Structure 1
């Protein structure tokens, strides 16, 4: 016979991060503040990286050019909405339409660019992999930190909701981002030319992460399923 808390502690396909794990990090002041500080620092580090690699990009295009910093900024804003309900279950977090848009955008940006880095670096893995100081950062460190994007996105599922409008906007913005990246050459810095394969996989990720969000998120107005 299943124990009453099995659903809270067992990963599922719709909730890969168990609710109890998400609660332990997101419902308590010290851990939530630590995540917010880490997000702010990671955002600044990411922006500095993009400034060093292509400083001539128009300011208006920065949210679409600086993909990972944008994902971190959206995620940090999403986490900040939990501050008013500290020490309460995530299920009690207020939900409304603007928040649904924010949480959905944070989720899709985190998943897409968490996975994009894995795809892009392993497309020409010989240019990145190794065990010297450079490779420890440029391959293992970058992939490891970006996979944390995915874990954070899955945690958002425990307090966020989505709507058809939020999903549609997310898809439109992700595809616009792809056009800016590969139509105008503002893709994230790589050690090789992306050719056709990387842009194709990137567009597939845009569609795939929105489809995943539509399946994993509860809808605004529905009873929570976790």
Structure 2
């Protein structure tokens, strides 16, 4: 049996959270509430974006939706061992996308909220502070998006990936970056998240950097499927 990829979340802890009815329900409810809060953040600007492009525009809600789909796939196996969750093509694709998007948005949010600290031409009080607004708009959002990374590592315990899936996820994540910051290259795209400042080249480059990092993390923490193993659907546990 091949060794599990390195993952800071112990398998025993992942099994507890993902196969215990109460904790799995808590994760699903938490994701649903966070999804609604995220959609509200984008709601005012969403009408200007074509509906088919909303998954690219709504970065954090999209990450949460992907993570929730992976959690939902685990529901039938509540009470069983984590290794009993079968790995099929759909779950492999969903888990790869979920890990990439959750890590990307968790790290991107840290970068985006701290851009004013490294940009002397921007006021440093756009987010950072300890007043009532900053407690949520800075510290609260940082904390919740740090949880994105933790959830990504948790979901990696039931996921699989392959070189093809990683390349596909990277292409989609880069398309997301191009959609958000293509206007910096003169492209007729202006779907960047509604941050409190005008995003510039620094944030665009940093966003591409978070994509590279997220794909690298997914490649490191997700077990690899053999070319024929992703087609398993009901044969039982993951590949030996």
Scaled by the length of structure 1, the TM-score of the pair is 0.89
Q: Which residue matches 2:224?
A: 219
Q: Which residue matches 2:92?
A: 100
Secondary structure of 1:82 counterpart: helix
Q: 2:197 aligns with which of 187, 192, 198?
A: 192
Q: Distance between the aligned counterparts of 2:130 and 2:12, measured in 1?
A: 36
1:224 to partner: Cα distance: 6.9
Q: Which residue matches 1:61?
A: 53
Contact 2:70 2:95 in 1 (8 A): yes
Q: 1:26 aligns with which of 18, 21, 26?
A: 18
Deviation string, structure 1 residues 45-81 (Cα, Å, up to 9, x no partner) = 2111101244321111100000000000000001111
Secondary structure of 2:108 counterpart: helix
Q: Distance between the aligned counterparts of 1:142 and 1:55, measured in 2?
A: 24
Tell me which of the two structures has the higher relative contact order, counting C-alpha pairs closer than 8 angstroms and 6 or more residues apart.
Answer: 2
Q: Distance between the aligned counterparts of 1:170 and 1:147, measured in 2?
A: 21
Contact 1:96 1:220 in 2 (8 A): no
Q: Are positions 1:112 and 2:117 aligned together? A: no
**Structure 2: gaps (5+ residues):** 118-123, 183-188, 230-236
Q: Distance between the aligned counterparts of 2:46 and 2:154, measured in 1?
A: 32
Contact 2:63 2:101 in 1 (8 A): yes
1:200 to partner: Cα distance: 0.5
Over the aligned positions, Cα root-mean-square deviation in angstroms equals 2.0
Q: Which residue matches 1:16?
A: 8
